[in-house]
Amino acid sequence: MLLEVNDIHVYYGKVAALHGVTLEVSEGEIVALIGANGAGKTTTLKTISGLRPLARGRVRFQGEDISKVPAHKRVALGIGQAPEGRGIFPGMTVQENLLMGAYGRKGDVSGDLAQVYEIFPRLAERKSQYGGTMSGGEQQMLTIGRALMTNPKVLLLDEPSMGLAPMLVAQIFDIVKEINERGTTVLLVEQNAHQALQLAHRAYVLETGAVVKSAPASDLLHDPEVRAAYLGGDLGVA
Ligand SMILES: Nc1ncnc2c1ncn2[C@@H]1O[C@H](COP(=O)(O)OP(=O)(O)OP(=O)(O)O)[C@@H](O)[C@H]1O
Per-residue pLDDT tens digits for 52-66: 999 999 999 999 999
Every domain of the chain and the residues it spans: 3-86+136-235
Do residues 163 and 190 lie in contact, with contact meaning Cβ atoms separated by under 8 Å? no
Q: What is the mean pLDDT of each run of 10 residues along the chain (238 residues)?
A: 98 96 98 95 96 96 97 94 82 96 87 95 96 92 94 95 87 94 96 93 97 97 92 56
Tell the residue nearest (CA) to atom 5 of ligand 1: 12
Do residues 116 and 123 lie in contact, with contact meaning Cβ atoms separated by under 8 Å? yes
For 45: left if phi > 0, alpha if psi spans -120 to 50, otherwise beta; the answer is: alpha
Complex prediction ipTM:
0.93
CA–centroid distance, residue 46 to ligand 1 (Å): 11
Q: Probe ligand 1: pick from 5, 19, 23, 37, max atoms within 8 Å of CB?
A: 37
Tell the residue nearest (CA) to atom 7 of ligand 1: 12
161: Cβ below 6 Å to ligand 1? no
Give the number of the atom of ligand 1 that is nearest the alpha carbon of residue 39: 21
CA–centroid distance, residue 91 to ligand 1 (Å): 29
Give the number of the atom of ligand 1 that is nearest the alpha carbon of residue 46: 18
pLDDT for position 237: 45
Bridge partners (DSSP) of residue 31 are 187, 202
pLDDT for position 87: 79
What is the homologous superfamily of the domain 3-86+136-235 according to CATH?
A: P-loop containing nucleotide triphosphate hydrolases (3.40.50.300)
pLDDT for position 195: 92
37: Cβ below 6 Å to ligand 1? yes
Cα 11 from chain centroid (whole Å): 21
CA–centroid distance, residue 42 to ligand 1 (Å): 7
Beta-strand relationship, 15-25 and 64-65: unpaired
pLDDT for position 85: 67
pLDDT for position 233: 62
101: Cβ below 6 Å to ligand 1? no
Express each pLDDT in 86-123 by its tens digit: 678 999 999 999 999 998 788 899 999 999 999 999 99
Tell the residue nearest (CA) to atom 31 of ligand 1: 38
38: Cβ below 6 Å to ligand 1? yes
Tell the residue nearest (CA) to atom 28 of ligand 1: 38
205: Cβ below 6 Å to ligand 1? no
47: Cβ below 6 Å to ligand 1? no
pLDDT for position 238: 42
Q: Which residues contact 209 (CB under 8 A, 6 or more apart)?
A: 16, 17, 18, 19, 20, 21, 39, 40, 43
